[in-house]
Amino acid sequence: MRLPTLPTWVWIALAALVIVGLEVATIAACGPWDPWETHYGEVARQILVRSDPLDLWWKPGYGPDGNAENTFWSKPALPFWLMALSMGLFGVGSRPEADEMVRSPWPEIAIRMPSMLAGLLCAVFLGYVVWRLLRDETAPRSRGPDRASRPSGPDLAARAGIFTAVVLATMPQWAIVTRQALTDMFLVMPVSVALGAWALAWLQPDRVLRRRSLGELIRRPAGEGGGWSRRVRRWTIPWDRAYVVFLLGVILAAVVPLAVLHMHVISDDTVARVAKFTKKPNIPSVATLRQIHFHLLAYWPVVFGLLVVSLRWARRSQVWMGVLYVAAGVSLVGKGMIGPGLVGLVVLADLVVRGRFDLLRRCGLVAGTLLFALASLPWHHAMALYRGKPWINELIVINNLARFGSGEQDQAVGGFAYYVRTLGVAALPWSAALPAALWSATRRLRSSSSDQPDAPGASAATRGAAVRRFALLWAVATLALLTYSVTKYYHYLLPVLPPLALLVGLWLGDLTEKTDDAGSRRTAWVTAGLGIGVLGLVLRDAVVEPAWIVHLTTYLYDNMWRNGAPPTERLIVMAVPFALALLLWAARRGRAAAAGMVFSALLTLGWIMNSYLPAASEHWSQRPLVKAYYDGRGPEDPLFSWWYYYRGETFFTKASVWVLKELDKDKLFAAIDEHRGHGRTIWVITTIGHGKRLKTSVPSDLRAGVEVVMETTHYSLLKFPVP
């Protein structure tokens, strides 16, 4: 089979059109899930409602448990800033209509859009990294009118880059996270950018930055101006695409958040609101705001100093190291300490394996440390002053150190096999290609020369071997760190997917070469058979436990959370082309094999996005029930959240819900009595099991009127009139 010889940009456009089309077309096909989309969405909405990007809040509603939570301190701020910004741009979350969160798809689109953009841009960036590192710098690139001299299709580097992006974007766990309002993508995306920047800095020959003089930019005649003016116009500044990437990163990731926080702290509205707080220990005051203001002032000289230093950079490696430090800082404010930890661990592993500790002298550690601090510390610094030790204990100690060292829940523990089994479903069907991709990578490493990839004139083969080694180190180090952590959730596996996509993408790029060297025929057939065996085991797990795909992005896996997922037998049909493609690869039909694998992955992705997730959402999302409440309620009918606390009831009602987390009949009776004599109907949302006990839990004179309005596998909506 021969792939059409289309230009590289056409292949990129086709891949982007298919994958982005699937993501965009299905982003609002199902309501936000419990857990945790609705929780995070409400935290972001509170930023808009309270006009406060500093102190994150969660308001569960009113009632006896309505004040059980107020502040939200378990996650850093970046994901919620972006969700709030998106909600503001889409105009949702703060309108006067009580039912706006269930009347249109815009709330789902708004809270999910940042994650989708981050996931897709991460896939594109990794593809770019592969292309830059593998391309032959000595190959002629015709830009003239002679079309015959132009390449008729993508070269090996471009194909490997395109395949890398496609593989990552079509892995089920990656695809689902990119269309859900979770915090994980704001960890994995900056970590991947940081490690990609490391590769661009030290896995290819370095070069001098392109520069331009100020005179060229000002375009004034040489004779105009005095001596000082002429000297200034001779100054040069970086005029390089890599530097533009760095500069944009600093502005968006560091300068803009710092400016927003600073303006918020000194604004009249903030001062007036904080002045009303009760004067107690650990409660912020106007003096606290003044203290934060003076501390934030210290960051601005750092911004100016780093800008001046960066203008003096002469090498491309300095710029990409700057990108690494900024991205590592973003990962800290995106998810927590695990982000910089992953970056540091993989970089250290690469230094040790390559024996290149000399790079430490060239990494710009002083400026890099300041860049990292500028991107990560202002919000943490301000919150430490604003809320003090309780906030530090909640975010740093409990939700970072304790989760890593002592665990959080009994269901969230396991050994090495915990993530290995999950990886099969998370990367389906590409998990079946991993044996072949790993075998190919290790074979290339054994046969590679000892030349350094950053040596002047290093060949594409040397750089390709270095990229494979780096991807292996990235995957192994990340999986080891996640396995070492006591707390284990399925979605914690997400950081392992980018390096595995790199390995598979590089392998697919090799398959499409006419001179593909499949190595030993017997070994190729054995590896293909192993991949088909892996595919069979993964499909068995997915069919036996249909909820496993849902669990890839949630944290509750027991009891009712195992019910309600649609059947997954169709995955078997969609995996058949992948199994056949592995056989074609063993038979040295590389291009046909690559086409079959991509086709199978797109089929799988399309079914998960268009069929599986919408069907599962009918049970995992509370949106249908809350919509039924707004469709049928009277003007003053209240909604009770009883013996139940899964956050969606708050997000969809914009916190206009009465909350009681326990059975407690006395409190329930008291709330019901407040509505007597008004001719209202009380609506109750709860779990399916607790809903069956509501009739025996309300006053005896109201039991006959209890009626089930709507039920899903997980939730129940009931109502009863109160005369």
* Burial state string for 292-327 with b = 16 or more CB within 10 A and e = fewer than 16: beeebeebeeebeebeebbeebeebbbbbbbbbbbb
Mean pLDDT of 320-332: 97
User: Is a pLDDT exceeding 60 seen at residue 552?
Assistant: yes
Q: Please tell me the predicted confidence (pLDDT) of residue 211.
A: 84
Residue 328: what residue type?
A
Give dist(CA 659, CA 323) in Å, integer: 46
Mean pLDDT of 467-472: 95
Q: Please tell me the predicted confidence (pLDDT) of residue 16.
A: 76
Contacts of 159 (CB under 8 A, 6+ apart): 11, 508, 509, 512
User: Is a pLDDT exceeding 80 seen at residue 332?
Assistant: yes
User: Is a pLDDT exceeding 50 seen at residue 71?
Assistant: yes
Residue whose token pair is 């001046």: 308
User: Is a pLDDT exceeding 80 seen at residue 415?
Assistant: no
Per the model's pLDDT, the better-predicted residue between 720 and 450 turns out to be 720
What string of DSSP letters covers 470-518?
A: HHHHHHHHHHHHHHHSS---GGGGGGGHHHHHHHHHHHHHHHTSTT---
Whether the model pTM is above 0.75: yes
Q: Is residue 52 classed exposed, middle or buried when 0-12, 13-18 and 19+ CB atoms within 10 A define those classes?
A: middle
Mean pLDDT of the chain: 88
Q: Please tell me the predicted confidence (pLDDT) of residue 1.
A: 46
Confidence of residue 151 (pLDDT cuts 50, 70, 90): very low
User: Is a pLDDT exceeding 90 seen at residue 154?
Assistant: no
- Give the number of other Cβ atoms within 10 Å of residue 431's Cβ: 23
Mean pLDDT of 46-63: 93
- Report whether 243 contacts 319 (CB < 8 A): yes
Contacts of 376 (CB under 8 A, 6+ apart): 328, 329, 330, 332, 333, 340
Give dist(CA 563, CA 648) in Å, integer: 18
Q: Which uninterrupted H or E stretch holds 271? A: helix 268-275
Confidence of residue 406 (pLDDT cuts 50, 70, 90): low
Per the model's pLDDT, the better-predicted residue between 364 and 155 turns out to be 364
Q: Please tell me the predicted confidence (pLDDT) of residue 152.
A: 45
User: Is a pLDDT exceeding 50 seen at residue 399?
Assistant: yes
Q: Please tell me the predicted confidence (pLDDT) of residue 233.
A: 64
- Report whether 126 contacts 471 (CB < 8 A): no
Percent of the chain with pLDDT over 90: 66
Residue 256: what residue type?
V
pLDDT in tens, 161-204: 999 999 999 999 999 999 899 999 999 999 999 999 999 999 99
Confidence of residue 398 (pLDDT cuts 50, 70, 90): confident
